[in-house]
Each structure stands twice: as structure tokens, then as C-alpha cells.
Structure 1
């Protein structure tokens, strides 16, 4: 797994199977394709496959799918895996992997979504952006 390649593919969705296609493949009963592509470095397939496994009660197997991606240290993988952990009710683990990555020196632990301006909220008010980042804590 190449960390730079993973980041570039996730950001640009080029050279990769997009998340919509990974989801569609699962909906159409092609879990075999999604699983195989997850093992070949396709991040969105890995995330979709991990979620599918978790939905079947196979959280340990799901984590095995995500672990190599998280091990790259790429923020995309860490945030995706943290979201999965949070969905499983394992919030402390989600915080832990995020904190470890931030302590390792991630230059931008939070990247706003397009059009997001959390710093522009009026004093005492929350931002209206969709990224869930609060300016008031």
C-alpha cells in the first residue's frame, strides 16, 4: 500500500473505483469483486467491503480489511476507519487512531469541505457548514 498513491486516488477519484461504483457492485451482489479490489489497494472498495462485513456482524474481519490502509498513515484512511469505528460504537478507538496520526505530524488534521467557512460564524453561533466542525466547541 503506497500512502501517497492512496491520498491522490482518494482526493481525485482518479485511477480508482469510485465509492458509488463500489456500493453499486455490492448492491448487485458482486461482493467478490469489491473484496478482490479492496485487497488490490482500492480504498473505496475496502471501505465499502469493511462496512458490508460489519453489517454482517464481522467487525474483526472488517478491521482486517481497513488495517493496511490505516497503517499507511494517510489521513483519508485514518478518517475513514475512524468513522467506521465510531459507527460500531467504538468511539474511544476512533479517537485513539485519529490522535495517533495527529501526533505523528499530520499537517492538516481537519480539512474543510468545499464551501465550508467555519471561521465565519458569528460569535457564539455554530457554523452552517456541512462538515460537522463546530466553531464554538
Structure 2
């Protein structure tokens, strides 16, 4: 009988750092412990016609075993902005920006960053459109 794999989810609060800079990692793990290692990604394309995934282990003080603990992680983390928002009320324009990896772009309209009232058709947002485009 095949064993069910345990889930581990981890992230940091930034995409990059300067040498020597400390980076906090947040980890949720179903197992009682997990092993952490830092790797330098040389090539990340797993396509069978490509060179495959290549990484290089980086010797750091982070490498080691850590106690695991499950933490509730809400898919699609969010913040609620009250209406009317005093921070946005007097603006004539503003920019929404996000790093995204759309895994289901062909599923029709999807809100990424939104404050939209469909019944009144007012508000703002960054959406995946009906054609899988960003609108």
C-alpha cells in the first residue's frame, strides 16, 4: 500500500536578498519534523526535452532539521479595505501590482486584487479575463 505524502508549505517575505542579509522563513508542515536546505537554482525547467532541474547545495547555518507544526494557510491571502476607504477616497488614480502564477487561466473571469461590486458595476480590480488575459 502506497503511503500518503505529507504536505509542507514554506515562503519568505521577499524574493531576493543581499549576501549576508537575514531572511525569515514561514513553514507549515504536517510531519513532526522537516529538513531545510538552501540551494542555488541553476536550471528549473523540468520539461523532458530540456536539461532538467539542476540545483547546487549552498552551505549555510540554516541547513538542518526543524520541528514541524501545521499552521492554517489561507489560499489567496487577502486584506479587506473598508468602503469608502479614506486612503483611496481622494486619489484620481492608483496602481495594483502582483506577482502571480495563474494555474487555471482558462476558467473565465477571476479576481486577483479586487474591490468590485458586481451588482452596481463599480470598484476596481486586477482580474484574469475570459480569454485568460490580465485586465
Name the TM-score, length of structure 2 as normaliser.
Answer: 0.22
Which of the pair is proportionally richer in strand?
2
Larger radius of gyration: 2
Which of the pair is proportionally richer in helix?
1
Name the TM-score, length of structure 1 as normaliser.
Answer: 0.22
